[in-house]
Amino acid sequence: MPSPDRSIDRLLDRRIIVVTGKGGVGKTSVSLAIGALAASRGMNTLVCETNGADQICGSWGMHSGGYAITPLAPHLSTMSIRAETAIEEYLMRVLRFRKLYEMVFKNRVMGPFLDAVPGLHDLIQLGKVFDLERERSSVLSGRTRTWDLVVVDAPATGHGISMLTAPRGMMRLTRSGPFHDNARDVAGLIEDPARTAIVLVSLAEELPVFETVELYGRLGKFQEQVAAVVLNAVRTHGLPANYPDLRPELLARANPAGVEAIALADAALRRSAMQDRARQSLARLGAPVVDLPEIAGVELGPPAFDQLAAVLGQSP
Amino acid sequence: MTPVLICCGAGGVGKTTSAAGLAIAQAQAGSRVVLLTIDPARRLADALGVRVGSEPCAVTLPAGLEAKGTLHALMLDPKETFDRVVGRWAPTPEARDRIYRNHVYQHVSANLAGAQEYMAMERLYELFRDGRWDCIVLDTPPTRHALDFLAAPDRMANLMDEGVMRWLVLPASRGGWRMIERGSEVLAGVLERMVGNSTIADIAEFFGAFQALWDGFRERSIEVSALLGAPSTRFYLVTTAAPAARAEARLFVEQLRSHQQPLAGFLVNRCLVPAGSPGAPEFAPRADLPEWDAAVGAVGQLYEQHLAKVALQEANIAELAAGTTAPVWRIPDLGEAVHDLDGITALSHYLRAAVA
């Protein structure tokens, strides 16, 4: 049963969860684990990839639907947000006529021009998230919201930050007009701690931890929205506490494969110490640190994500 | 032509470290090498002694390496490079300052997605024309698609397209956002409704102020494209043996093919070393010691897990390279040590064959 003092429950109370971190730390897996957890609690959840990234369906063993919403499991769906498609969708709504859209934006003049509008791609992708948050479907009793939770698998570090700050940037750039007003609305959602949470993902290694701390520093006023730091791919070694005492005897009595196994055990202990240091460093940021185990030696797929979701659900 | 070694790959695969390793291997073999890094982790930058916006600075290689060449390194600062390019090619100081002051320029030079990629190309061009280097090693910006940056010169050339420029610049030079043709008036009207009047004015001024620089941009982008396509330029895909790397590698090879470039090789980082001894680990019993069986069990399990990981790694590497003749170089997982100069030097030993 959800309880208000568990950070994971407070996290799932939000409407939007933005997941970011250094490249290669497993942002997509963590996004899916959060999505699978929310879905397991009956929340209608959409996990969005950004910048045209399109890995989720594949890792679920399914054919990708791209920009179209693809159901993965009960209550869990995904889509890949592409700036180009989101811009087209937005402009079609504003301009109303496809002919006009094509005349204005499909010609070789406007294409490069749109690319040059600073922050437009980032803003328009968040604008899509804004639309998804507001989406309502009429079901029997009336209008219920389509998505209880939208998880945004945001771009890595630097690009992740420029996405969060894009609405403000656009407001400064335009100063007035429909773009300005839309950017203001999007900023209102993204900067609202009650509705939008940020989750940082890190690996338990020195350099990624260092970069996560740096990233946190660069988040500025978004820092207060960091609801959790996920320490991903944490390994357990299973060695008894007195292993260091037993080690000389083990080594003396080992066959050649045994000697190699002891070297692996030593490495596992060093890794464990490194994980502890990582957890301590990240805890100093002030947000709760949540461990996710490494799923070693298997391909990622629905069972792996369910397993991760279960761990996440048990976290304090 | 000066050889250019380009390290591509997704974020977080150890691209900068591998590029540094390649550069050290080249310097060891006797070249005067310059390494251009993009947004390296601060620790790594410290290890190499590079600072943002710096000119190439000499890296003191470990004496034990007995390097016959030299290594310099620098770190790309897109904003600074953009400013320098403008400063260098603007026809007059007034034109230069007009660009520096422009609202849109300030945004574009600091924030534009793609500015980093494009400025990496400008910096590469500067290093290439410099004449001081026998070999340039380029670490590429972290992009989802490893070769996105290759399109940067083309994108810039598109933006510089004469038709586009005439359309955008002429009205500005007539002192307002007014179109010559009626069709254009409609477009301008729509655009104005979208982003507001003042933005249009800023953007028009930006393009207007840049007018004098267009030819230079276009010429350089053509030269950079030629450099990237030269036989002396070699592309490496830096990757790990993770399953996600397979799709990326396939895409990379396809993209390279469309640029008529072969793949020089895969640099597979953080490889596990297979166990060398036959059979399972065995330990002569010492049942009298507390937790003996638990320790033996845990050690054995770690060994089993290692074998499973190595098997998956090898299957992934085999799939990675399937369909190409490009060689695969495995770089063993050197742990934390790899973030200082000695660590990168240790890593470079595994890359000597890759630069030979």
Residue of B nearest to A171 (CA): B195
For an interface test with A, the pick among B75, B144, B203 (most A C-beta atoms closer than 10 Å) comes out as B144
B43 touches chain A (CB under 8 A): yes
Give alpha helix (H) positions in chain B.
15-28, 42-48, 78-89, 93-101, 103-111, 115-130, 152-159, 162-173, 182-195, 197-210, 214-229, 245-258, 292-321, 341-348, 352-355
CB contacts of B142 in chain A (<8 Å) are 23, 156
Contact A189, A196 (CB under 8 A): yes
B12: alpha, beta or left? (left if phi > 0; alpha if psi -120 to 50): left
- What residue segments make up the domains of chain A, in order of their start? 7-237+287-314
**B 139-168 near A (Cβ less than 8 A):** 142, 144, 155, 158-159, 161, 163-164, 167-168
Cβ neighbours around B174 below 10 Å, total: 11
Nearest-CA distance B73 → chain A (Å): 20
Nearest-CA distance A16 → chain B (Å): 23
The answer to whether the Cβ–Cβ distance between B168 and A109 falls below 8 Å is yes
Q: Specify the CATH class of A7-237+287-314 in words.
A: alpha beta
In tens digits, what is the pLDDT along chain B, a chain of 356 residues?
899 999 988 777 888 889 999 999 999 999 999 999 887 777 778 878 777 666 898 999 998 899 999 999 998 887 888 898 889 888 899 989 988 988 778 777 765 556 677 788 889 999 999 999 999 999 987 665 556 667 766 666 666 555 555 555 444 444 444 433 445 556 666 666 666 666 667 777 777 777 778 778 778 888 888 888 899 999 999 998 887 777 777 778 888 888 788 899 999 998 998 888 889 999 999 989 999 999 999 999 999 999 999 998 999 899 888 888 899 999 998 776 667 888 899 999 999 988 87
For chain B, the first-to-last Cα distance in angstroms comes to: 17
Sketch out chain B's domains with CATH numbers.
4-276+312-355 (3.40.50.300)
Nearest-CA distance B289 → chain A (Å): 8
A92 touches chain B (CB under 8 A): no
Residue B132 phi, psi (nearest 5): -85, -10
**A 187-216 near B (Cβ less than 8 A):** 205-208, 210-211, 214
